[in-house]
Amino acid sequence: MRHQLWLGIAMALATSAINRTEDVDLKGCANATSITATVAKVETADLKGISLNQVQAMWPTRLEASDCVVEKCRSASYQGRVIDGHCLCCEKIDIDQSLNSDGGIDKSLVLTIYHTASNEKEAIKLAKALAKAAGLHDNDVSSIGHELDQSFEWEGTRKAEVYLLSVKMEKHETYWTVYFRVDRHLLGSSPSNSG
């Protein structure tokens, strides 16, 4: 009888542990490795020629287009899992293009990613992987996790490209959320300097 009681308690504890890990199980979310690999592809693509459709085709989740005018959209997003107003895995891509005061074209590509990790160590690991994929320099990547909210800025390898990166990690009751946003800007040249 005692053996059955202990077996029942052990089963209840095991079930409880499994249910707790399912709380941070990311059903409906893309694998973090897939997202990181896609960020690297998008960030190395030529910003001048990339379109929202091309980014959607590369992305590991199905991004729904929004902010559309005459079949041309400037945003696409995916809300994989939202619980109690907290996004466990969501992604948003924005592409914007405008004429600057010199008559050149400025273009920006913004990737915003919310992803969940089971603990602080995994959150830092994910944030570092995403930052490295976005092109952040190694010495800056290694500083991620020293603070829970960090920002970086650097020049791209292509002429007139500037990157802005924000990474924030937030602890919830049973999981951590990584908020990652990278803004990539291509500042157009004036017509007289474009030759």
Residue 3 has pLDDT above 50, yes or no: no
Q: Kindly report which listed range (12-21, 90-99, 103-112) carries the lowest average pLDDT score.
A: 12-21
Name the band, by pLDDT with cuts 50, 70 and 90, for residue 68: confident
Which of the four pLDDT bands, split at 50, 70 and 90, describes residue 138?
very high
104 domain-assigned: yes
Query: Do the domain assignments include residue 154?
Result: yes
Within a domain: 139: yes
Q: State how many domains the chain has.
A: 1
- Give the global pTM: 0.79
Residue 189 pLDDT exceeds 70:
no
Domain assignment of residue 91, yes or no:
yes
92 token code pair:
């948003």
Q: Please check whether residue 16 lies inside any domain of the structure.
A: no
Answer whether residue 9 is part of any domain: no
**What average pLDDT is seen over the chain?**
81
| Domain enclosing residue 181, as ranges | 29-193
- Does residue 10 form part of some domain? no
Contact 133, 45 (CB under 8 A): no
Task: From residue 123, give the alpha-carbon distance in Å to each of 33, 70, 154, 184.
Answer: 13, 40, 23, 23
* Span 27-40, pLDDT tens digits: 767 888 999 999 99
Distances (CA, A) of 45 to 18, 51, 58, 158: 41, 10, 11, 11
SS3 110: strand
Q: What is the rounded average pLDDT of the residues 148-168? A: 91
**Is 17 within the bounds of a domain?**
no
